[in-house]
Copies of this chain bind each other. A is one copy, B any other.
Amino acid sequence: MSSSNRQLSLNLFIYPGGHHEAAWRYPSSAPERAFDITYYQELARRAEAAKFDAIFFADGPVLADNIRYSSRFRLEPLTWLSAIAAATSRIGLIATSSTTYYEPYNLARLFASLDHLSGGRAGWNIVTTGAAQASANFGYPEQPNHAERYAKAAEFVDVVTKLWDSWEDDALVIDKDAGIFADDEKIHAIDHVGPHFRVKGPFNTARSPQGRPVYVQAGSSDDGRSFAARYAEAIFTAHQTLISAQRFYADIKHQAAGLGRNPDHIKILPGISPYIGSTEAEAQRLFDEFNHLVQPAYSLGQLRNMTGLDLTGHDLDGPFPRHLIDTSGPNGVASRFQLVVDIIDREKPTIRQLINRLAGARGHYVSIGTPEKIADEIQTWFETGAADGFNIMPPWLTGGFDAFAGEVLPLLRKRGLFREEYAGRTLRDHFDLPRPDSIFSGVARASA
């Protein structure tokens, strides 16, 4: 796609009640439908009607802290998206899954199946799982460290790529008369032997419509950036300022080019949580409504997870005790930690101001204003090397999405920045990404 008609990519990031940490308490949210698949199918259909590229589910194999005050349970994304696939026909379906706690053969099957049953709409958000407590659900005496998790992730991606490629695209023959179902010369053992995995293969199902699901990545640490530059086709990232997003964008595209990749084949999609009002004051009032629903006991726990600092008992309206943060500690390598420290240094907030700020979208960009203002910000980021699109994180669902689709999207369309209709059928089509050939294409099989 030439830059003259370059189009925004837009995903709907679905959290059960919405992205504000108190979204489930908002009067028009529907937490009683939190386990009702039809609620999510309806949301996905709305996103599809809006011609969004994809919907997206975060995930982690652990119960988040303090479920008492928040709706932060987890829906298993691959089953959930399979049921959503059956209720939609075009929109992409991106599931988060962990390379630290899954067996590659099992996870490869789940994603290939989602890609088959959705007609080529699967995306995989590759994470190493930051939550330390997850390790105790999988028999680890302690959490594998950051670098170790990324090394394992790289090998994991290598293994599943080979599995997804192990049936060449034309391996299925299905010749009833000749009695040949598949050409076994085109189905390859992968014989992977590495430090973390030994996987013989071949895979036990045919290559999926997209060849492989779209590879998505969401970590922004140094390890995360290197990993993304090498493997990712879309990146979800969190930035509080245009300049931070521009630097990240330039770094990733530069690193990717250095690895011989086409930088256009990595879509960089910062998160944005829009609070929309017909005037600035109305939008601010909407944000304040959510602030009133915040429960500090919960928010301080979230802050502790991000910074290692427990401020329980401190005066919430006093200045943030910056000197208590240990930037040399084990949190120091995590990108979200750095983002919070940057906010504190830049804005000098009180504790309450900081927790309200983070309550909006856990460190993602919160945009408060009129539809015009929000459309302007999106356009600016898109046109000044900060973003190829956005991960839309409505404060609450479904109303927060409807406001974006109803009020901001028409402005983006009027400016020629976002599609009126889908041009293709697969998530790769929507993201304008190539369909990869199998690495085994044309390779003669060494042994039957």
Binds B, one of A195-203, A255-263, A307-315, A412-420: A195-203
Q: A248-287: which residues lie under 8 A (CB-CB) from chain B? A: none
Distance (Å) between the CB of A57 and the closest chain B CB? 11
B73–A180 contact, CB under 8 A? no
- Tell whether A187 is near chain B: CB-to-CB under 8 Å: yes
A203–B117 contact, CB under 8 A? no
Q: Number of contact residues on A: which range applies?
A: 35 or more
How long is the Cα–Cα vector from A101 to B84 in the complex, in angstroms? 27
A75–B113 contact, CB under 8 A? yes
- Tell whether A324 is near chain B: CB-to-CB under 8 Å: no
Most chain B CB inside 10 Å of its own CB: which residue of A69, A199, A200, A202: A200
Binds B, one of A59-67, A234-242, A356-364: A59-67
Contact partner, A106, options B106, B181, B200, Cβ 8 Å: B106
Residue of B nearest to A166 (CB): B63
- Tell whether A47 is near chain B: CB-to-CB under 8 Å: no
Binds B, one of A24-32, A372-380, A434-442: A24-32
- What is the copy number of this chain in the assembly? 2
B174–A76 contact, CB under 8 A? no
Distance (Å) between the CB of A3 and the closest chain B CB? 37
How long is the Cα–Cα vector from A27 to B163 in the complex, in angstroms? 32
B106–A102 contact, CB under 8 A? yes
With a cutoff of 8 Å between Cβ atoms, the chain B residues found around residue A84 in the complex are 86
With a cutoff of 8 Å between Cβ atoms, the chain B residues found around residue A136 in the complex are 198-200
A25–B116 contact, CB under 8 A? no
- Tell whether A295 is near chain B: CB-to-CB under 8 Å: yes
Q: Can you pick out 15 interface pairs between chain A and chain B where the beta carbons lie within 8 Å of each other?
A: A31-B174, A41-B86, A63-B201, A69-B180, A79-B114, A80-B82, A83-B83, A83-B85, A83-B86, A101-B103, A102-B106, A137-B201, A138-B199, A139-B198, A179-B293
List of 9 A-B pairs having minimum Cβ-Cβ separation, nearest first: A86-B86, A82-B82, A76-B113, A136-B200, A37-B117, A79-B113, A139-B198, A63-B204, A79-B82
